[in-house]
Amino acid sequence: MKLLKELHYKQNRPIMKKIIYNTLILNLILINCYSQSLSFAKSKYVLTHHYDSLNFSNIQEESFILILSEKHSLFKSLDKEIVDSIMKSNYNKTGIMMPVTDKKFTNEKILFDFSSNEMVTTTLKTVGNFKTKRTFPEINWDIKNISRKIMGFDCQQAICEYHGRKFSVWFTNEIPIKAGPWKLVGLPGLIIEAEDETKSIQFKLISFELSDKDKINIDLSEEEISWPEYLRLAKFMQDDPHAFMEQRLGKKFTVTPPMEPMKRNPLLPSQRINFPLEALEYYTQQ
């Protein structure tokens, strides 16, 4: 048996060498393409979130997609897109809108325009389907002289403090666009991994591919609203949810028992999440 294995290896060694050689050549070609021109691409990340600081074993994982163009990036939940697509398909077949999972996925989409330094985010559906311009993240990156290889990319470490969290990230100049997962932007290359100092928040790149521009939609179709107006709507919903619902539906209705004011601003994450991606004050900051 050992002899057969050795014979099989010797016979196939030239083929294996050719496969490895071709793979290396392909990687070099792709890296060269990234460096010369990044027109349209898709990056997929997994967020591992230890959201409960009192119990580190409470974990939520979610897949995200980062759509890239030369001047824009759009970050959104891939899991939510899949679930929404299944629900829509089921509704078209049965006429009934039924949830397909009890998991809660991220509703917010984050669009960056690097040419104008603008950030646009979508809003919570409970308050209304809007998009709103936000303050572009001012992140003071401390780029370290430390490097490592991740997924075949030469990466460099950088440190920052942003919205109550201290992040350590790894970025690559081989993909020269200043984008990354969530709101972590501004480095000279794509962020491959990011982790906060408590290891409660971890973003990891799982795939990167160039894409045909015709297959990429980087626009947000929601109605635009100012951030102060959105904050006002959220406060209105918190103080008088009945009147808020009447305004949204455009008609009067009666609820028994009467709806009480909400104890918590609807823009804040669920109370079970006591370690969100950013400190609580930034969710309702002007």
Q: What's the mean per-residue pLDDT of the chain?
A: 85
- pLDDT of 40 higher than 80: yes
pTM of the model: 0.82
| Tens digits of residue pLDDT in 78-92 | 999 998 888 888 888
Map residue 191 onto helix, strand or coil: strand
User: Strand 223-224's sheet: what is its strand order?
Assistant: 142-150, 153-162, 165-172, 190-196, 201-210, 40-49, 60-69, 72-77, 110-113, 118-122, 130-134, 223-224
In whole angstroms, give the CA distance from residue 78 to residue 95. Answer: 25
In whole angstroms, give the CA distance from residue 252 to residue 243. Answer: 9
| Tens digits of residue pLDDT in 212-271 | 765 566 778 888 999 999 999 999 999 999 999 888 888 888 888 888 999 989 999 888
- pLDDT of 171 higher than 80: yes
- pLDDT of 64 higher than 60: yes
CB of 78 closer than 8 Å to CB of 64: yes
DSSP letters spanning 92-143: HHHS----S-S-------EEEETTTTEEEEE--TTT-SEEEEEPPP----EE
Q: Please, which pLDDT band fits residue 19 given cuts at 50, 70 and 90?
A: very low
In whole angstroms, give the CA distance from residue 155 to residue 189. Answer: 9
In whole angstroms, give the CA distance from residue 39 to residue 111. Answer: 17
- pLDDT of 28 higher than 70: no
Which pLDDT score is estimated for 237?
93
Which pLDDT score is estimated for 35?
43
**Token pair belonging to 27:** 């990687």
- pLDDT of 191 higher than 50: yes
Residue whose pair of structure tokens reads 């904050």 in the numeric block: 231
- 215 against 204, higher pLDDT: 204
What are the angstrom distances between the C-alpha of 37 and each of 41, 153, 209?
11, 17, 13
Residue whose pair of structure tokens reads 């409470």 in the numeric block: 58
